[in-house]
Chain A
Amino acid sequence: MIRIFALLVMALSISVHAEISVIVNPGNANAVSTDDLNRLFLGRTSSFADGSKATPLNLAEGQASRDEFDSKVLSRSSAQLKAYWSKLVFTGKGTPPKELADDAAVKAAVAADTTAIGYISSGSVDGSVKVVATF
């Protein structure tokens, strides 16, 4: 009974949550691991593996892919992340990544900036950006 219920929950969550793709500029040759994503999006580093500058871009709060990214990649709830950033912001140690309104805005920003890294729903990906990871 419990197992069936668990399967149902899994099936439901799969159907509800769309896959997200982490995207960089096509001119960016760096590989990006989940650890790298954590460090970039939690403000612990601001450069890619080759040492070049990285500019992480978040989707606005409330966007479904933002929640997906927060929970799957950063393994934190939005409240936990807000608490995390408040520690850094109010001690002068960091500022959270810039937020953009939607997939289109993130895609345009990444296509235009070789330092940018963002994430969008996989359905929104096109040739203007390069996918380095999916979740």
Chain B
Amino acid sequence: MIKKSLIALAIAGLVTPAFADTTINGFASIKAGMTMGSDEQLYGYTDELDFKNESLMALQVRSDLGEKLSVTAQMMGRGNEDFDISFEWAFLSYQLNDNTTINAGRLRAPFYKYSEYMDVGYAYDWSRVPRSVYGLGFNNIEGVSLYRTDVIGGFDSTFMAMIGGYSGTTGLGDGKLEGFYGASWELSRDWYNFRVAYYTADATLVFANESVNNLLAALTSNGQGELARGIGFDKDKGTFFGVGAGIDRENLVIVAEFNRTEVDNTFFAKRDNYFISVGYRFGSVTPYVSHEWERHDAKPEIYQPFQNLATTPLAPLYFGAVATVQSQAREADTLNIGLRYDFHPSAAFKLQYTSQKNRLTDDRLGLVVAGVDLVF
């Protein structure tokens, strides 16, 4: 409560100054969805109809302070966090020249083609960005970015470089990224575009899964620190590489992305994720089909050098390590079929059916979500 009233005061403070040119924009998504079976859970939905899980509301305040300096804050409340408001973005921008801007503060790391506006459902056709591919588990970086637009050989070029760090939740537990840096570059022309991105950082984390932390501690105290270090994250170098391409021609919209994520000297699997989406605009209605692939290869080379332990009293620890490493393997295919209907100048209705098959367990999940995305 205190936090909210402070933010309300901060907003009031930002809005009122007479000397700054301030604009307020916002966006919202109201989504209702449920899975098709009683034991199915996907993206936070269960088989009970839910209106909160993917709903969100955000308000952005941008103040132009003159002399090429501006400040932007985006406050967002997500339904799955009980609409508690937090600062999703908060940064200063300084325009170096006509086509170069430096931003500093809390920024969205531009890993993927749609990273930076993944919360703004109105900006794309799907009900959600492809989660299999956009699944690092964290999105924001505290740091500095350089944003530059150019015209190069007839292509519109958009270049972005970022340095900084992160601390907070990740897909595997609370942790931090140090020495984060990298860049993404997009070229577009008429009806097609390409994109490439590379980011790297040193990752440290404490597993959310207590039994993994206990296992690592037991390995270390039994003289198997090397195996423990091969699993855990302690300033281990992570790399992200992504490529993407898109076509938007005569109402046909095709987008594809591929990315590979690796973290050296940890049990983090070599993750290859990719998707392709095809849509067609019939006036205000855009039906689409997309397919996502997750291919995460576990790293048996972590425990194989220690297989002699299997015949010693440390066998339970060894097999614990094997199971922990193998738990990172994943092979899943996700099919989405849906449509966007622009029923209002500022709002779009969306309906999407998702079917996900886990190829390792042979389980299949189904999910239907309907909702409205709007900007204001």
Do A86 and B27 have beta carbons less than 8 Å apart? yes
A45 cross-chain contacts in B, Cβ below 8 A: 98-99, 149
B101 cross-chain contacts in A, Cβ below 8 A: 93
Do A79 and B342 have beta carbons less than 8 Å apart? yes
If A86-B120, A90-B120, A92-B103 touch, does A46 touch B98 (CB 8 Å cutoff)? yes
Do A82 and B122 have beta carbons less than 8 Å apart? yes
The contact size tier of chain A is: 20 to 34
Q: Which of B76-128 contact A (CB under 8 A)?
A: 89, 91, 93, 98-99, 101, 103, 108, 116-117, 119-120, 122-124
Do A90 and B117 have beta carbons less than 8 Å apart? yes
- Provide the bound-state CA to CA distance between A46 and B99, in Å: 8
- Interface status of B62 (Cβ within 8 A of chain A): yes
Do B98 and A90 have beta carbons less than 8 Å apart? no
User: What distance in Å separates the Cβ of B189 from its nearest Cβ neighbour in chain A?
Assistant: 11
If A86-B375, A90-B74 touch, does A61 touch B345 (CB 8 Å cutoff)? yes
Q: Which of A47, A86, A89, A91 has the most CB of B within 10 A?
A: A91
Do B375 and A82 have beta carbons less than 8 Å apart? yes
| A91 closest partner in B (C-beta) | B116
- Interface status of B156 (Cβ within 8 A of chain A): yes
User: What distance in Å separates the Cβ of A63 from its nearest Cβ neighbour in chain B?
Assistant: 13
- Provide the bound-state CA to CA distance between A92 and B78, in Å: 20
Q: Which of A37-81 contact B (CB under 8 A)?
A: 39, 44-47, 61, 77-79
| B284 closest partner in A (C-beta) | A79
- Interface status of B25 (Cβ within 8 A of chain A): yes
| B101 closest partner in A (C-beta) | A93
- Interface status of A108 (Cβ within 8 A of chain B): no
- Provide the bound-state CA to CA distance between A78 and B283, in Å: 11
B89 cross-chain contacts in A, Cβ below 8 A: 91-92
Do A95 and B23 have beta carbons less than 8 Å apart? yes
User: What distance in Å separates the Cβ of B268 from its nearest Cβ neighbour in chain A?
Assistant: 28
Count of CB-CB pairs between chains A and B under 8 Å: 60
- Interface status of B72 (Cβ within 8 A of chain A): yes
- Interface status of A83 (Cβ within 8 A of chain B): yes
- Provide the bound-state CA to CA distance between A61 and B345, in Å: 9
**Other A-B pairs, 5, CB within 8 Å; known A45-B99, A82-B375, A87-B117:** A86-B117, A86-B122, A86-B123, A90-B119, A92-B91
The proximity string for B residues 122-161 relative to A, scoring 1 for CB distances below 8 Å and 0 otherwise, is 1110000000000000000000000101010000100000
Do B345 and A78 have beta carbons less than 8 Å apart? yes
A89 cross-chain contacts in B, Cβ below 8 A: 25, 60
Do B72 and A92 have beta carbons less than 8 Å apart? yes
- Interface status of B348 (Cβ within 8 A of chain A): yes
Do A91 and B345 have beta carbons less than 8 Å apart? no
- Provide the bound-state CA to CA distance between A78 and B284, in Å: 10
- Provide the bound-state CA to CA distance between A84 and B156, in Å: 15
| A47 closest partner in B (C-beta) | B98
Do A90 and B27 have beta carbons less than 8 Å apart? yes
- Provide the bound-state CA to CA distance between A47 and B149, in Å: 13
Do B156 and A87 have beta carbons less than 8 Å apart? no
Q: Could you list some 14 contacts between A and B, CB below 8 A?
A: A46-B98, A77-B281, A79-B284, A79-B342, A82-B346, A86-B375, A89-B25, A90-B27, A90-B60, A90-B74, A90-B119, A91-B108, A92-B93, A95-B23
| A38 closest partner in B (C-beta) | B156
Q: Which of A46, A86, A87, A95 has the most CB of B within 10 A?
A: A86
- Provide the bound-state CA to CA distance between A39 and B156, in Å: 9
User: What distance in Å separates the Cβ of A21 from its nearest Cβ neighbour in chain B?
Assistant: 25
B284 cross-chain contacts in A, Cβ below 8 A: 79
Do B62 and A79 have beta carbons less than 8 Å apart? no
